[in-house]
Amino acid sequence: MPNNDFTGKTVFITGAGSGIGRATAVAFAASGANVVATDIDIDSASATAGLIEEQGGRSIAARCNVTSSDDIAAALDATIDAFGQLDIAFNNAGIEQPVSPLADIDEDDWDRLVAVNLKSVYLCMKHQIPLLLESGGGSIVNTSSGAGVIGIRGQSAYTAVKHGVIGMTKSAALDYAATGIRINAICPGIIETPMMGRFSGGTPEGRDRVIAQEPVGRMGRPEEIASAVQWLSSDLGAFTTGHALVIDGGQTVGL
Ligand code: NAD
C-alpha cells in the first residue's frame, strides 16, 4: 500500500536552519526519516537537528554553502557516513531580492541571486544524482516559487532564477526518468517565514500588503509546504516527475 512513511529513508535538506527547510526537516523526521539538516549557518542547522532529536527523531547537521561544490560534496559525504545512503533531496536554500526595477538591480546582487538560487540547484543535483543512482532511485524536490510561474514587478532577478529552477527540474527529470529518480519542483506562495518577514518589512502594513496578494486571505504556513514536499517524495507521488507544484493559496491563479 503506498504511503508516506519514510522509515529507513535518508533525506538531505539545504537551507534547513529556517522557515520552509526547517519545517520540512521536522516533518520528514516525524515520518520516520533520517534527516541531514544543512545550512550556510551551522548554528541554525544544528538547532533544527536538535529539535528533531528532542522529538525522538534521527538527524545530523552540516554546514553547507550551496554556492560551493566542495561544501555540497562534503555534506553529502557526511550523509553517507552517518546513514549509509541518500534517498531524498530537498534543494531549498535561497535568498530574496530587494524590490527594484531591472535597470536598478546591482550586478553583484544579480550574480548572488543566480549563484544562491539557481546554480546551487544544479550543483546540488550534480552531486546527489550519482548517490541516488547507487540507491536504486529516489526523489529530488527543488524550491522554485510563485515567482517561477508569473512575472512580479520589482523582482526580475528573483523571477528569472525561479523560472530557471523549473526549466532545469523538467529537463533533469527527463534525463533520469528511466532510472527511478523523480525530480520535481515546488512553487510556494506567500509563506510565513523569516524571509517573508524581511521581504514585507515585518510591519503590520507590510504583512497586510503581502496578504492582499493571497485570495485565501492569509499567509501559508511552512508546514503546508513541507506536506507537499513529502507527498512528492513518497510512494503516493510515484508517477509524478518533472512537475512544478504550485502551493500558493490561489495567489497565481487569477492573474
Ligand atoms: P528563510 O530565509 O527563512 O530560510 C532560508 C535558509 O536558507 C536560511 O536558513 C539561510 O541561512 C539559508 N541560506 C541562505 N543562503 C544560503 C547558502 N548560500 N547556502 C546554504 N544555505 C543558505 O527562507 P524561506 O522562506 O524558508 O525560503 C526557503 C526557500 O523557499 C527559498 O528558496 C525561497 O526563495 C523559497 N520561497 C519562499 C517563499 C516565502 O514566501 N517564504 C515563497 C516562495 C519561495
Residue 222 carries which side chain, given as an amino acid letter? P
Residues annotated catalytic, as ranges? 158
Q: Give mean pLDDT, residues 216-224.
A: 98
Q: What is the pLDDT of residue 78?
A: 98
Pocket test for ligand 1, best of 12, 20, 118 (most atoms within 8 A of CB): 20
What grid cell was written down for 125? 543535483
Residues in the chain: 255
| Cα→Cα distances 96→110, 156, 255, Å | 11, 11, 22
On the question of pLDDT at 95 being above 80, the answer is yes
Confidence of residue 65 (pLDDT cuts 50, 70, 90): very high
b/e map 189-215, b = 16+ CB within 10 Å: bbbbbebbeebbeeeeeebeebbebbe
CA 153 to each of CA 4, 71, 157: distance values in angstroms, whole numbers, following the listed order: 38, 34, 11
Ligand 1 centroid–CA 14 distance in Å is 9
Sheet holding 88-91, edge to edge: 58-63, 34-39, 10-13, 88-91, 138-143, 181-188, 244-247
Q: What percent of the chain has pLDDT over 70?
A: 99
Q: How far is the CA of 209 from the centre of ligand 1 (A)?
A: 20
Per-residue pLDDT, 134: 98
Give the CA diameter of the chain: 54
Residue 27 pLDDT greater than 70, yes or no:
yes
Nearest CA to 125 among 60, 180, 73? 73
Is residue 4's pLDDT more than 90? no
Which ligand 1 atom is at minimum distance from the Cα of 143? 32
| 31 CB near ligand 1 (under 6 Å) | no
**CA-CA distances (angstroms) from residue 218 to 19, 187, 221?**
17, 17, 9
Cα 174 to ligand 1 centroid, rounded to whole Å: 26
- Element (H or E) spanning 216, and its range? none
Q: Report pLDDT for 254.
A: 82
Of 71, 76, 74, 77, which Cα lies nearest the Cα of 89? 76
Mean pLDDT, range 213-231, rounded to an integer: 97
Binding site membership of 192 for ligand 1 (Cβ less than 6 Å): no
Question: Candidates 42, 95, 96, 169: which one to mutate for ligand 1, based on the most atoms within 8 Å of Cβ?
Answer: 95
Residue 26: how many other CB atoms lie within 10 Å: 22
Q: Does residue 17 have its Cβ closer than 6 Å to ligand 1?
A: yes
Asked if pLDDT for residue 170 goes beyond 90, the answer is: yes
Does residue 116's CB lie within 6 angstroms of at least one atom of ligand 1? yes
Q: Are 45 and 66 in contact (CB under 8 A)?
A: no
Whether residue 142 is predicted with pLDDT greater than 80 in this model: the reply is: yes
- Which residue is associated with the grid cell 538547532? 47
- Residue to mutate, 195, 199, 219, ligand 1, most ligand atoms under 8 Å from C-beta: 195
Q: According to the model, what pLDDT value does residue 2 have?
A: 62
Q: pLDDT tier at 255 (50, 70, 90 boundaries)?
A: low
pLDDT for 1: 59
Give the whole-angstrom CA distance, residue 195 versus residue 214: 17
Partners of 140 in the β-ladder = 89, 183
Question: Which residue type sits at 110?
Answer: W
Please identify, in words, the CATH class of the domain defined by 10-247. Answer: alpha beta
**pTM score, whole prediction:** 0.98
